[in-house]
A = this chain, B = another copy of it.
Amino acid sequence: MPSKAPTNLEYALLGLLHQQPQSGYDLRKVFATTALGNYSSSPGAIYPALKRLESSDLVTSEIDSTTKLRPRKIFSPSRKGRAVFRTWLKADLTPDDVARRFDDLVLRLAFHWVLNDLEATRVFVSALADELDSYVEALESQRRQFPEQTPIQPRLALDAGIEQVKAAARWAHKSVKKLSEERS
């Protein structure tokens, strides 16, 4: 049977381990202090996730007893883990991803350096840009369909969403340009 797909938290952990093998505690600090902070840094999330990764053979661990404190358990991605991670990075993006899981796509982008293939990244962001453009369209048409007498608050709320997506679209197009320059 094909084993279940990892969760986003698991992918994030796997990605961080690609940068450098480290312990659960280290990983928690990363989530607590960097922009990845939208993922939880709580031990009740991290440690079970690492355990799942280990039992599906996506990471391996070894004990570091050189410290005087409690021994640290250092995790590294396994060969299988690297393969699964790359597959995730290269997966096609669906319109639904863009609308509802934009953050997940940005997570994927953040780890795209693992592929070491700027052209692949450019294609990814370019597809993202297209999807964002058409999503803007959809939202604006929804906005036009608001009944005349709709109060201002829901209008502003919808505007917030539209402006966010517009900003994302601008960012995506600009990023494609940057990636094209980088390549040359």
Binding site for B on A (CB under 8 A): 34-35, 37-38, 99-100, 106-107, 109-113, 118, 121, 125, 139, 142, 151-154, 156-161, 163-164, 166-168, 170-171, 175, 178-179, 182
| Copies of this chain, whole number | 2
The answer to whether B152 touches A182, judged by C-beta atoms less than 8 angstroms apart, is yes
Complex contacts, A157 vs chain B, CB 8 Å: 35, 106-107, 109-110
Least CB distance, A34 to chain B, in whole angstroms: 7
Complex contacts, A125 vs chain B, CB 8 Å: 156
The answer to whether A142 touches B175, judged by C-beta atoms less than 8 angstroms apart, is no
Q: Is the interface of A mostly helix, strand, loop or mixed?
A: helix
Q: With the chains together, A158 CA to B179 CA distance in Å?
A: 15
The answer to whether B160 touches A106, judged by C-beta atoms less than 8 angstroms apart, is yes
